[in-house]
Amino acid sequence: MAAEIHWITTADDFLPWHDAWLDLLSRTTVPITPFHHPAWIDGCWRCPRNQLAVGLLATDRHLHAGLVFNSETDAGPAVLVPIRLLSLTPHISAAHPACLVAVAHPAPDPGDIGLLLDRALDALKWQALFLNFLNPAHTWLETAVRSAAAARHWRIREGKSSTDAYIDATGGSSVYLARRSSNFQNNQRRARNQLRNLGSLEMMEVARTDMPREALETILTSAFERCWQRDSIHSPLHPVVRPSLLSLLAAMRTAGLLRVYLLRSNSTDIAFEFGFVDPYTGGLYYPCVRGYDETYKKYSPGNLLTEFTLDDTAASQLRGIYLGPIHVSADTKYKQTWLTEEWTVRNFLLIRPKSIYGILDSLYERIPVFRRIWWKLRIGERVRKRYWKNHGPTG
């Protein structure tokens, strides 16, 4: 029997598929994440920043594959910025191109994947898809995407391979620190002693307690206000973003996937982190948002909190902490400091040649003068800033 394609664009339409989706997650051998969980998917549909769709391949309601397409609309669907912001080859890209994640068991037919990609690009009016593949786990998906691109004459722009950071949590912080240099261990010990000299020092995880939702949201809001350094429309302090974010966190907490870690000095939060766990393929903890009070920066509060999350991850019988992509920027330097392993990720962009995006991409490639003007006049940056100014973070 041929597989049927189901195209889901609302939480209500996805509801009948929840059980089948969870069954697929339990069967797949491909690494998956908390961002495949129904609680996360439903929460994204309720956030005004996101466009989300789920493509399903099924035979008689039995799922073979699921693709989640997600794109934030902060910068508008047709705004173009230099792709170097995405750590790919110097080119042009949509400010927030659609991203694709997938689970499957077994690998579906490449032709079916091509149909799903085609429908995604049509239904969501996207001109490009930004894709990354963790080799060798996603070989089946990369093969299917390349097959679809060749059949439909889409252009593929390959970027440099990037690196994701991973911490092995086996044995907790004591085993981890024993493998590190004496200098690293001394820095951790010094930071802890300095904070203890200031008074009481506590590290805790509060999402799995019986704390009422209102109290947890109050703690998070206070942590955002004290410990969030970024001046960005993505900030959880933004009045549009915060209600959707808190609702999403509540759903993930109900599903048992939320973790909220706090570092307190004299009953005051000086560092925080929240993230999610996945219970599949060995289990990983995914940090999502972290911050610290600038007043305590010299005490390295974030490092102490990471040490605590290692212990909690090990106690939860998860195999490690997935820190995500490493970028050469200050806010991800800690990943390089703490990682025990680097995972290579292949990146590329799938472009529709007849779109506005595709036309500009072609001009950039073929006409050197256009390329020089693009960078010299900072066209993408100017257009993006104007769009944000006129439309705000809801797009």
**Using CA atoms, how far apart are residues 103 and 343, in angstroms rounded to an integer?**
19
Which helix (H) or strand (E) segment holds residue 282: the answer is none
> CATH 3.40.630.30 spans which residues of the chain?
4-162+346-394, 170-318
Residue 383's pLDDT is what?
65
Strands 162-168 and 98-104: unpaired
Residue 115's pLDDT is what?
84
Q: How many helices (H) and strands (E) does the chain have?
A: 14, 15
Residues in the chain predicted with pLDDT less than 50, given as ranges, are 74-96, 231-233, 393-395
Report the CATH fold assignment for 4-162+346-394.
Aminopeptidase (3.40.630)
Residue 389's pLDDT is what?
63
> Within its chain, how far is the Cα of 126 from the centroid?
19
Q: In CATH, which superfamily holds the domain spanning 170-318? A: Gcn5-related N-acetyltransferase (GNAT) (3.40.630.30)
> Within its chain, how far is the Cα of 349 from the centroid?
17
Residue 236's pLDDT is what?
67
Residue 384's pLDDT is what?
61
Q: Please, are residues 170 and 368 in contact by the beta-carbon 8 Å criterion? A: no
Which of 24, 31, 27, 21 has the alpha carbon at shortest distance from 320? 31
**Other Cβ atoms closer than 10 A to 219:** 16
**Residue 3 backbone dihedrals phi, psi, to 5 degrees:** -75, 140
Residue 159's pLDDT is what?
75
Cis amide bond preceding 108, omega within 30? no
**Using CA atoms, how far apart are residues 228 and 206, in angstroms rounded to an integer?**
19
Give the amino acid at 153. Answer: H
The pLDDT tens digits for 83-123 are: 333 333 333 444 445 667 788 888 788 888 888 888 777 77
**Using CA atoms, how far apart are residues 179 and 142, in angstroms rounded to an integer?**
36
